[in-house]
Amino acid sequence: MAERLYKEIGEKIKQEILKSDMGIGDKLPTERVYAELFGVSRTLVREAFIMLEIEELIEVKKGSGSYLKARPFDRPDRQVSDVGPFELLQARQVIESAVAACAALTVTKADLQRLQDTLDLEEAEMQNVEKANAADREFHLLVAQATQNTLLVDNVLRLWDMRDNNPMWQQLHARIPESSYHGQWLKDHEKVLMQLRKRSAEGARDAMWQHLENVKRTLFELSDTEAPDFDGYLFS
Amino acid sequence: MAERLYKEIGEKIKQEILKSDMGIGDKLPTERVYAELFGVSRTLVREAFIMLEIEELIEVKKGSGSYLKARPFDRPDRQVSDVGPFELLQARQVIESAVAACAALTVTKADLQRLQDTLDLEEAEMQNVEKANAADREFHLLVAQATQNTLLVDNVLRLWDMRDNNPMWQQLHARIPESSYHGQWLKDHEKVLMQLRKRSAEGARDAMWQHLENVKRTLFELSDTEAPDFDGYLFS
DNA sequence: CAGCGAAAAATGGTATGCCAATAGTGCAAG
DNA sequence: CTTGCACTATTGGCATACCATTTTTCGCTG
């Protein structure tokens, strides 16, 4: 494991906090205690504390101690690699279509312009796989940003990061000829943008849903992977 | 300045990066260089590097060096605490309603039973604020779990954790008499469950949307906070 | 016995030193 | 001249030791 050790220690500390029934404001065990508990130096625990401090989970007071500021998430950050590509894609479909619907109501002219520009870029660079993918990502991100809600942007961003870091997705992606789908996806994107222009929440939702449905088909039809069916969700 | 020194060092390093014309992927000066430059120990610089690493500005490679991952000003770095309660609630509305729609298509009898049980508990413990809130959370989580998609569960969970850790939300929540809304919310939950029983995606989406709309009203109508209007998103 | 103050203990803050992994260098073999 | 390998230098990783601040303890004094 070439992981940075302080992160590991940090996660362990989170676990300890969850196992104990500490409340907000309570004093944490000292750095020295954790050091001995995990069999590492205080330096390392200290680095882990810095991590927790930046995550706003704890507050550190010189000479006094460290205090719990918020309870850590129950879910200790699932490994990207053990989530299937289909699950990932389905999550994107559910969330991004809802986000698109929301965006249709809040989108500004500047947003629409940026979306158009990205789309143009996508078309121009269709041959360049690298840039086309970047434009793809940018388009979806811009839709999320049009909601003016940073949490929604965060969520969409998280899913894309997972996609980019998911080995199975890459594998799936690799076996498909690039040129075959970029054209289709571009058309899909255009439809989404059109619905956003019309400020139609339902239209944007359906367009985004259909787009990701197409992505699913492209990826799974040609492969031997089983893909559960979720038709019937759309009503347009 | 009673600030933690590593943060100060971290900011200085950001300044240095900006002053220099380093590009993405370039190698940063070593920890030792910065230590001498600022007249502090390498430990401190190291802690600052950890801060920058967590902020995803740099990437640290043992034995090799540290490399610029993004330019500092690109990331305003929002923390959990400065997300407004309204933004949070809106994100929940968008995402949880979509999740509910998805759940309507995948929900099992066992899920429905668990949901009913939780609802019964919620009714029975309405006087007990602590338990009522726990049941509330449990209900929403069960809906997410009914999608059979762990990523969607993760997303919903994240938003709830943010809620529980958000100081402004707590403040807002505190000023409202408990009894006044738990009854309403219970009715809302029952409606959601009813739609899930009917396996109506649209119905579940609308019910969940309306529920969170009611939550919004309860929280913001009684307070002096401005709440943007998002009616028109529903079409039922 | 209450209050106060100094000493001691606890705790985070900082510095130094050595270890391990990586990158660089130069010499020898082909 | 190129290539490969061993040796050296560089760089981050981790541990130990001591410092500064805060908290606690304890005894003195009124």
**ipTM of the complex model:** 0.70
The model's confidence at residue B233, banded by pLDDT at 50, 70 and 90, is very low
Contact B40, B21 (CB under 8 A): no
Comparing A64-68, A195-199, B165-169, the range with the smallest average pLDDT is B165-169
Query: Mean pLDDT over all residues of chain B?
Result: 85
3-state secondary structure of A58: strand
**Angle value at C-alpha B210, between B79 and B222, nearest 5 degrees:** 65
pLDDT at B27 over 70: yes
Please give the class, per CATH, of domain B5-74.
Answer: mainly alpha
3-state secondary structure of A27: strand
Does A193 or B176 have the greater pLDDT score? A193
Please state, in angstroms and rounded to a whole number, the distance separating the CA atoms of residues B80 and B209: 24
Residue-level pLDDT at A225: 47
Q: Tell me which of A45, A94, A169 to substitute to probe the interface with B (most B C-beta atoms closer than 10 Å).
A: A94
Residue-level pLDDT at B86: 86
Residue B47 CB partners (closer than 8 Å, separation 6+): A46, A47, A50, B6, B9
Nucleotides of strand C within 7 Å of the protein's CB atoms: 10-17, 20-23
Comparing A59-73, A74-88, B144-158, the range with the smallest average pLDDT is A74-88
Please state, in angstroms and rounded to a whole number, the distance separating the CA atoms of residues A152 and B159: 10
Closest nucleotide to A9, Cα to C1': D14
Residue-level pLDDT at A131: 80
3-state secondary structure of B200: coil
Residue-level pLDDT at B85: 85
Closest CA to A39 of A76, A5, A4, A2: A5
C-alpha distance from A201 to closest chain B C-alpha (Å): 7
Longest dimension (CA), chain B: 69
The angle, 0 to 180 degrees and rounded to 10, between the axes of the packed helices A129-145 and A178-197 is: 20
Q: Give the CA radius of gyration of chain A.
A: 22
Please state, in angstroms and rounded to a whole number, the distance separating the CA atoms of residues A54 and B54: 8
pLDDT at B230 over 50: no
Q: How far is the CA of A62 from the C1' of C6 (A)?
A: 22
Residue B218 CB partners (closer than 8 Å, separation 6+): B176, B180, B181, B184
- Could you confirm whether domain B81-221 is CATH 1.20.120.530? yes
Contact B201 A94 (CB under 8 A): no
pLDDT in tens, B38-49: 999 999 999 999
Please state, in angstroms and rounded to a whole number, the distance separating the CA atoms of residues A5 and A48: 9
Residue-level pLDDT at B77: 56
Token pair recorded at residue B205? 């989406």
Range with top average pLDDT, A56-70, A95-109, A210-224, B182-196: A95-109
Please state, in angstroms and rounded to a whole number, the distance separating the CA atoms of residues B11 and B26: 19
Token pair recorded at residue B141? 């989580």
Contact A94 B102 (CB under 8 A): yes
- Nearest chain A residue (CA) to B46: A47
Q: Considering only CB atoms, which chain A residues are within 8 Å of B157?
A: 73-75
Contact A80, B143 (CB under 8 A): no
What average pLDDT does this structure show over B29-42?
94
Please state, in angstroms and rounded to a whole number, the distance separating the CA atoms of residues A153 and A147: 8
Q: How many CB atoms lie within 10 A of CB B160?
A: 20
Does B211 or B122 have the greater pLDDT score? B211
Using the Cα atoms of residue B122, residue B125, residue B129 and residue B135 in order, give the sign of their dihedral. negative
- pLDDT over 90 for what percent of chain B? 54
3-state secondary structure of B59: strand
Spell out the domain ranges in chain A. 5-68, 84-221
What average pLDDT does this structure show over B118-138?
86
Query: Mean pLDDT over all residues of chain A?
Result: 84
pLDDT at A51 over 50: yes
Please state, in angstroms and rounded to a whole number, the distance separating the CA atoms of residues A36 and A42: 8
- What are B59's strand-pairing partners? B67
- Could you confirm whether domain A84-221 is CATH 1.10.3720.10? no
DSSP H helices in chain A: 5-19, 31-38, 42-54, 85-106, 109-124, 129-145, 150-165, 167-174, 178-197, 201-221
pLDDT at A72 over 70: yes
pLDDT in tens, A100-144: 999 999 999 999 999 999 999 888 888 777 788 888 989 999 999
- Could you confirm whether domain A5-68 is CATH 1.10.10.10? yes
- pLDDT over 70 for what percent of chain A? 81
Burial annotation B162-184 (CB, 10 A radius, 16+ → b, else e): bbebbeebeebbeeeeeeebbee
Residue-level pLDDT at B168: 75
pLDDT at A155 over 80: yes
Closest CA to B156 of B137, B134, B171: B137
Contact A76, A11 (CB under 8 A): yes
> What are the backbone angles phi and psi of residue B214, rounded to the nearest 5°?
-65, -40
Candidate from B80, B152, B202 with C-beta closest to A91 = B152
Closest CA to A80 of A178, A147, A159, A153: A159
pLDDT in tens, B139-188: 999 999 999 998 999 899 889 888 877 777 777 777 666 666 778 889 99
How many residues are there in chain B? 236
> What are the backbone angles phi and psi of residue B206, rounded to the nearest 5°?
-65, -40
**DSSP letter at A82?**
G
Q: Tell me which of B3, B50, B51, B53 to substitute to probe the interface with A (most A C-beta atoms closer than 10 Å).
A: B50
C-alpha distance from A198 to closest chain B C-alpha (Å): 14
Please state, in angstroms and rounded to a whole number, the distance separating the CA atoms of residues A231 and A234: 7
Residue-level pLDDT at B171: 74
pLDDT at A232 over 50: no
Q: How far is the CA of B34 from the C1' of D9 (A)?
A: 19
